[in-house]
Structure 1
Amino acid sequence: MSSQPFTVVITGAASGIGAAISQQLMAVPGKNLILLDRQADTLAELAATAPPGVVVETLAIDLTNTEQLTSGLSPLLADNSIHELVISHGIADENQLDQCEIWDKVLLTNLTSVQRLLAVLEPRLADGASVVIVSSILGLIGKKANSAYCASKHGLLGLVKATALDLASRRIRVNAVLPSWVDTPMLRREVRRQADLTGIAEADMLRRIKKRIPLRSMVEANDVAHAIQFLLSAQSRMITAQSLVIDGGDGCGL
């Protein structure tokens, strides 16, 4: 039996889906977590909630900076392998087609930095490891004023499929989750912005969102985290290169 600790790396861990999966995995005995995000204070607060005996390391980092990633992670990993990797960081800036600066920023953060992260960490992944990448329902469909975000999330699905094939010989599985209308701080900011633009009350805007979802409820971050846990686990040992939609039936039709 290996004497190495069971190591989990989670990006975007400070809030939303990243925080939810971090909290869920903290409750699993025997896992050592390395949490990455730009928000140092929030990461520290999250790590402080870990149960006794659970090892949680944090790294405040700009994941678009490959050199910072390599130099920051190396001392935390030491000689240990990574058994589970959850990539959940991203931004959702809207853009028009001619707003190239926003396009570059979104693609760098949501897609290119994920490829760079995988390139850096691939040699450290244990044989039989599991990787889950958080994409979006907008990885399958389009949305007005979101060409950069949609392109980045579509691109992640191609990256998942190709990387899954690249790593299959080592029994490393790579999958994606595609949530829709997740009740996170990011979504709440977007709802407030849309409410201000349209003159509709924020509460009414939220009711409209829920009404269009067949299960009549917004997806919670914990719903997505539970799906991630399944894809990380041995229960999904024959699932790879797949995209799991979590949308309460929103995408099934009218």
Structure 2
Amino acid sequence: MAGPLSGRHALVTGGSRGIGRAIAASLTQAGAQVVVLGRDTAALESVVAAGEAQGFALADVSDPAAIQAAVARLEHPVDLLVANAGSAVSKPFARTDSADFSAMLAVNLMGVVNAVQAVLPGMTERGFGRIVAVASTAGLKGYPYVTAYCSAKHAVVGLVRSLALEIARTGVTINAVCPGYTDTDMVASSLDRIVEKTGRTRDAALAELTKSNPQGRLVQPAEVADAVTWMCGAGAGSITGQAIAVAGGEV
């Protein structure tokens, strides 16, 4: 498909659902050849079957050897990396143990690190690359009951800002996109937990989540995907080391 990203090859981690799937579809629409990476074969196959990606790869982003092997098996070098895979745990700090912190760091931080380390040498050798980490407004501010998640997402933003300075002269950019509460399966699960634990109606639970967004709504995955697609384009060559909030003015 002709488009501004025609001829580019993209890898989207956590690309089988939610924001990752929307990003894959947007990059495909812009002309890129997209491979989605994840752990659920059936879910990944559904993305390809829908024409939202052209291939898929299986790997756990927290396993550096698995990511390296998956990238090595790709037919084409990666020009565009979107490190989207992530997970969240919600608990009061007093009940958040070291295993929770380790799990959040393993997926949300090291998942980005592992993916970047797998593709960056090739990008710098070719003199071009676009890397976008999907962080969160939780990487820019605090939220109660998600200290481990916030810590990991803050670390992602720090990684982006630091690495951007190291690679500024290589032709490779790295940025973070920071969505607020977005209409995804993860947020739907959060709503389920709020309803279960508090007895509130689902509408009341949704109002609680969206009250921090001045627009009073959930962000749509396609809105995040549009920002990512722009950051992957030629016109964003001077945009690097940034953490761009897609959050209705929350940050």
Q: How many residues are matched?
A: 242
Structure 1 residue ranges without an equivalent (≥5): none
SS at match of 2:57: strand
2:21 to 12, 19, 27: 19
Structure 2 residue ranges without an equivalent (≥5): 1-5
Match of 2:158?
Answer: 158
Match of 1:85?
Answer: 81
Contact 2:83 2:111 in 1 (8 A): no
Match of 2:118?
Answer: 120
Supply the distance in 1 between the matched residues of 2:230 and 2:57 (Cα, whole angstroms). Answer: 25
TM-score by length of 2: 0.90
Match of 1:62?
Answer: 60
SS at match of 1:59: strand
| Structure 1 range deviating more: 150-159 or 119-128 | 119-128
Alpha-carbon distance, 1:143 to partner: 1.9
SS at match of 2:16: coil
Alpha-carbon distance, 1:211 to partner: 4.6
Q: How large is the Cα RMSD of the aligned pairs?
A: 1.8
Alpha-carbon distance, 1:153 to partner: 0.4
Give the residue type in structure 1 aligned to 2:36.
L
Deviations 1:195-228 (A, max 9, x none): 1111101122213434543223210011100111
Match of 1:187?
Answer: 187
Contact 1:164 1:240 in 2 (8 A): yes
Give the residue type in structure 2 aligned to 1:50.
G
Alpha-carbon distance, 1:120 to partner: 1.9
Supply the distance in 2 between the matched residues of 1:7 and 1:76 (Cα, whole angstroms). Answer: 10
Matching of residue 94 in structure 1 with residue 90 in structure 2: yes
Supply the distance in 1 between the matched residues of 2:90 and 2:107 (Cα, whole angstroms). Answer: 14
Structure 1 consecutive aligned stretches of length 4 or more whose deviation exceeds 6 Å: none
Matching of residue 43 in structure 1 with residue 41 in structure 2: no
Contact 1:57 1:76 in 2 (8 A): no
Alpha-carbon distance, 1:169 to partner: 1.6
Match of 2:104?
Answer: 106
Deviations 1:120-156 (A, max 9, x none): 2111224221111111101111122211101100000
Contact 2:67 2:114 in 1 (8 A): no
